[in-house]
Amino acid sequence: MENFDEDPLRRNVIEFAQRLSSEGLSMGTSGNVSVRIDESRFLITPTALPYDSLELQDVCLVDLNHPEVQQGLRKPSSETPMHTAVYLARPDIHALVHTHSLYATAFACAGKPVSAVHYIVATMGNEIPVVPYRTYGSPELADAVMQTFRTGLGVLLQNHGVLAAGKTLQEAFYHATTIEYLAHLSFVAQSLGGPILLSAAELDTVREKFKGYNQNKL
């Protein structure tokens, strides 16, 4: 592990940080992404730097045992406390994508979870719950996230945005995109009289089917 090459993961962080704006999930530097290196370290986007000009050394390393110590040239994202809290509490999570995507954030502003309007929600849980509002970047927000984010792979942050997780950055990004899709779908279905919601039992069935699908792909 001593000679572990971080560069591919640093490249990964830059690629997905850039895709936040190119795929319409966030404006400017309003979102952020991170990826776990091992049980005690992760990489995260820097604060206040335009993502289209990021270099490998701009990506910040955070030590989970000493998250307050700046490791490199750049100051890590203001949402580092929230990412740190999730990595400490959820060993199953290896990457996080935070966005302010429009429809999902509208649900967050209304304090409404994104419900089981489509079976694809089963990749993340039975719904996307709402974390109560706390000031951005604060330890209080990190605590509130952990209270709600004990299971599942996505949450809404009230009056703020989205936090999506995965085993890889690609998967976390896919979940962030899916949460936005589900929120948009739910909003449109409201205009047609409201969506018919899927039961928890049906979502369990769908998850079983996904397992078979993944095996077939291998």
Stretch that binds Zn ion, among 43-51, 67-75, 111-119, 156-164 (CB under 5 A): 156-164
In the bound state with Zn ion, the residue whose beta carbon lies nearer, of 130 and 203, is 130
Alpha-carbon torsion angle 26, 143, 65, 95, nearest 10: -30
Give the contact letters, 96-115, x = binds to Zn ion (CB under 5 A), - = no. --------------------
In the bound state with Zn ion, the residue whose beta carbon lies nearer, of 122 and 175, is 175
Q: What is the spatial order of strands in the sheet that 154-157 belongs to?
A: 60-63, 41-44, 32-38, 95-99, 161-166, 154-157, 130-131
Minimum distance from residue 180 beta carbon to Zn ion (Å): 14
Site residues for Zn ion, window 157-186 (CB under 5 A)?
161
Mutual angle of helices 80-89 and 139-148, in 10-degree steps:
40
- Annotation marks residue 39 as catalytic: no
In the bound state with Zn ion, the residue whose beta carbon lies nearer, of 158 and 178, is 158
Q: What is the 3-state secondary structure (H, E, C) of 17-38?
A: HHHHHHCCCCCCCCCEEEEEEE
List, by residue number, the catalytic residues.
79
Interaction site with Zn ion (CB under 5 A): 161
